[in-house]
């Protein structure tokens, strides 16, 4: 477990060490709809670009008004933290991340780059064909840049590595359904976040080891109030740790950097690119892609029930328009189903004392449920 914490904390060092060890290249990406399998099949390490709060006196001139996440990624590029990244891929998603992608290329025009269009109507009739053609263009762009053909055999091998990672992470999350889970919310989220910057094959071996240890771990007598976390993407576990310091536990999340990242697998078929397309279009909908056929509210409710949560925390980044526009429906559905929730906004840093008081009040309000169940 410590290794995952260390990788997440020192993720830039991990990326540099991986390059040195393998001689490979590192590809940075912004959105969860980026088909990692194609990058990994080319022999490269896909790394999700996570925000990290550092003094910033540059990005305002380039990206005024964007959310902290997108601005902090640009800030790190300008500061040279991502100098081990050789290329940037953006898959159609959030406007602010697109800004970060384009603005970074203004600053770093030498980087290989590609944009993958992902239909907003992910369940639309033509969406799978559109996505498949986008993946074909992307694969050809990677092959042209690397001078190496990505074969079906390469894709089969990579699909198996990625599906194994998803299966193992589902196993970790299954442990959180127990009355007294042996794994804390901060530990599980650390593993998911680390998996987005790590070599999946390497991580799978470590995960098997950690799961074996977790299954032997004695559950804590009382893990307290069970909470679900919903909202804007995060790249740290500050909130989970704060909740744990108040004697409660985040037992499930519906974050695009959390459970949504690994929830579904690629179902292999002859047409490998179509198989990968269907996996990314079929993942739990992010707030931006939940149009027409609204699947997100039902998915949130299902997870809430399956993990026996007592309440929901909705944490939104300031200026986060995808969740800003989607929240009113989520609040309405939670109210209709008498699911207690607490909504709050955060910026680059978590307003610790204020958030602690809010969480404490919310958790105390839910405590009676512990005796009822």
**Applying CB under 6 A, which residues contact ligand SF4?**
67, 69-70, 94, 96-97, 232-233, 317, 320-323
Picking from 224, 269, 282, 262, the residue whose alpha carbon sits closest to that of residue 48 is 262
| Shorter beta-carbon distance to ligand SF4: residue 42 or 229 | 229
Q: Which of 35, 55, 44, 45 is nearest to 116 (CA)?
A: 35
Q: For ligand SF4, give the closer residue by CB, 145 or 344.
A: 344
The whole-angstrom distance between residue 87's C-alpha and the CA centroid of its chain comes to: 20
Nearer to ligand SF4, 40 or 101 (CB): 101
Q: CB of residue 318 vs ligand SF4: minimum separation in angstroms?
A: 9
Tell me the closest approach of the beta carbon of residue 258 to ligand SF4, in angstroms.
13
- Count of residues making up the chain: 373
Q: Minimum distance from CB of 100 to ligand SF4 (Å)?
A: 8
Of the pair 145, 319, the CB lying nearest ligand SF4 is at 319
To ligand SF4, the closest distance from the beta carbon of 321 in angstroms equals 6
β-strands 226-231, 112-116: how paired? unpaired
Dist CA 354 CA 297 (whole Å): 28
Identity of the residue, 132 or 296, whose beta carbon is nearer to ligand SF4 in the bound complex: 296
Phi-psi region of 43 (alpha: psi -120 to 50; beta: other; left: phi over 0): left
Q: What is the nearest approach in angstroms of ligand SF4 to the Cβ of residue 64?
A: 14
Closer CB to ligand SF4, 159 or 314, in the complex: 314
Q: Is 323 left (phi over 0), alpha (psi -120 to 50) or beta?
A: alpha
What are the residues facing 249 on neighbouring strands?
Answer: 226
Residue 37 or residue 72: which is nearer to ligand SF4 going by CB? 72
Give CA 262 to chain center in angstroms. Answer: 8
As measured in angstroms, the least distance from the Cβ of 324 to ligand SF4 is 8
**Rounded least distance, CB 119 to ligand SF4, Å:** 18
User: Token digits for 178?
Assistant: 């127990």
Cβ atoms within 10 Å of 333's Cβ, excluding its own: 16
Burial class of residue 123, CB neighbours in 10 A (0-12, 13-18, 19+): middle
User: In this structure, how many other beta carbons lie within 10 angstroms of the beta carbon of residue 164?
Assistant: 17
């Amino acid at each position: 477990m410590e290794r995952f914490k260390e990788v997440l904390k020192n993720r830039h060092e991990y990326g540099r060490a991986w390059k040195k060890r393998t001689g490979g290249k590192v590809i940075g990406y912004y959105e969860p709809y980026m088909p990692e399998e194609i990058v990994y099949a080319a022999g490269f390490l896909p790394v999700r670009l996570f925000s990290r709060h550092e003094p910033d006196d540059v990005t305002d001139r380039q990206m005024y008004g964007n959310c902290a996440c997108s601005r902090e990624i640009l800030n790190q590029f300008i500061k040279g933290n991502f100098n081990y990244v050789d290329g940037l891929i953006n898959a159609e998603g959030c406007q602010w991340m697109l800004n970060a992608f384009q603005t970074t290329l203004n600053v770093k025009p030498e980087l290989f780059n590609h944009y993958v269009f992902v239909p907003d109507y992910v369940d639309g009739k033509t969406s799978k064909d559109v996505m498949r053609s986008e993946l074909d263009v992307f694969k050809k762009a990677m092959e042209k840049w690397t001078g190496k053909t990505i074969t079906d055999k390469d894709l089969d091998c990579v699909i198996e590595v990625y599906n194994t990672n998803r299966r193992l992470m589902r196993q970790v999350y299954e442990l959180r359904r127990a009355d007294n889970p042996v794994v804390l919310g901060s530990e599980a989220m650390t593993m998911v976040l680390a998996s987005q910057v790590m070599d999946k094959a390497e991580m799978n071996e470590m995960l098997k080891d950690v799961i074996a240890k977790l299954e032997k771990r004695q559950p804590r007598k009382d893990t307290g109030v069970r909470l679900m976390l919903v909202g804007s993407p995060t790249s740290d576990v500050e909130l989970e740790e704060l909740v744990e310091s108040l004697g409660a536990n985040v037992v499930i999340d519906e974050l695009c950097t959390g459970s949504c990242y690994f929830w579904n697998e690629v179902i292999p078929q002859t047409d490998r690119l179509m198989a990968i397309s269907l996996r990314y279009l079929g993942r739990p909908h992010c707030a931006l892609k939940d149009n027409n056929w609204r699947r997100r509210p039902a998915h949130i409710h299902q997870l809430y029930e399956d993990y026996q949560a007592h309440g929901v925390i909705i944490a939104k980044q300031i200026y986060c328009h995808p969740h800003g526009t989607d929240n009113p429906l989520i609040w309405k559905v939670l109210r209709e189903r008498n699911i207690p929730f607490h909504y709050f906004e955060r910026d680059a840093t978590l307003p610790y004392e204020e958030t602690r008081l809010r969480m404490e009040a919310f958790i105390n309000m839910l405590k009676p449920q512990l005796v009822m169940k």
